[in-house]
Amino acid sequence: MKGIVVYDTSYGNTKKVAETIAETLKESGIEVDLFDVKDVKKLSAKDYDFLVLGSPTKFGTMSFTIRFFLGKVKSEEWMNKPFVAFDTENPENIEKARAENKEWSAAEKISEKLRDKKMNQLLPVLKALVLGWKGPLKEGEVDRTKDYAKELAIKLKEKKG
């Protein structure tokens, strides 16, 4: 089994989360390629069994670059393949979403798009908290990311049977 982890980042926080997911999956015996979205020249579903996609939250949604990348994820190729999405966002963003009963998370919006492409969401999104716009990640978020990736590894292995 081999997957691709793709992320966008301006200040390195989303990259750190992506690296943590990729490392943890590898430790669980799952092969992954890790890419900054800017380095993905061609995306072929033939090469991968699953997709992990992450974005910083910008103005309550995914970055422009990730939105563009989603255009390369063709439903006819990726249909039924597993995915999870993650984002980085500020703690205030979670409070705002709760208060307004609205979704302001990049990961939720990515997930919606991938479900529309008939992909199979394996876990609820991971919202990794960053302090301010530049970070750092809030204390404990790297460990929470590792736990998330371990759970993902279990789900992927279940899928494979």
Ligand X SMILES: Cc1cc2nc3c(=O)[nH]c(=O)nc-3n(C[C@H](O)[C@H](O)[C@H](O)COP(=O)(O)O)c2cc1C
Q: Which of 34, 85, 130, 153 binds ligand X (CB under 6 A)?
A: 130
User: Interaction with ligand X in 26-55: which residues (CB under 6 A)?
Assistant: none
Told to check if 135 binds ligand X by CB under 6 A, we report yes
Told to check if 3 binds ligand X by CB under 6 A, we report no
Told to check if 65 binds ligand X by CB under 6 A, we report no
Site string for ligand X, 5-24 (x = CB under 6 A): ----xxxxxxx---------
For the CB of residue 98, give the shortest distance to ligand X in the complex, in Å. 13
Which residue, 78, 80, 56, is CA-closest to 67?
56
Q: Return the sign of the alpha-carbon dihedral for residues 104, 110, 135, 150.
A: positive
Site string for ligand X, 71-90 (x = CB under 6 A): -----------------xxx
Told to check if 136 binds ligand X by CB under 6 A, we report no
Told to check if 68 binds ligand X by CB under 6 A, we report no
For the CB of residue 143, give the shortest distance to ligand X in the complex, in Å. 18
Task: Show the 3-state SS of the chain.
Answer: CEEEEEECCCCCHHHHHHHHHHHHHHHCCCEEEEEEHHHCCCCCHHHCCEEEEEEECECCECCHHHHHHHCCCCHHHHCCCEEEEEEEECHHHHHHHHHHCCCCCHHHHHHHHHHHCCCEECCCCEEEEECCCCCCECCCHHHHHHHHHHHHHHHHHHHHC
**Identity of the residue, 9 or 20, whose beta carbon is nearer to ligand X in the bound complex:** 9
Residues in the site for ligand X, rule: CB under 6 A?
9-15, 56-60, 88-90, 93, 130, 133, 135
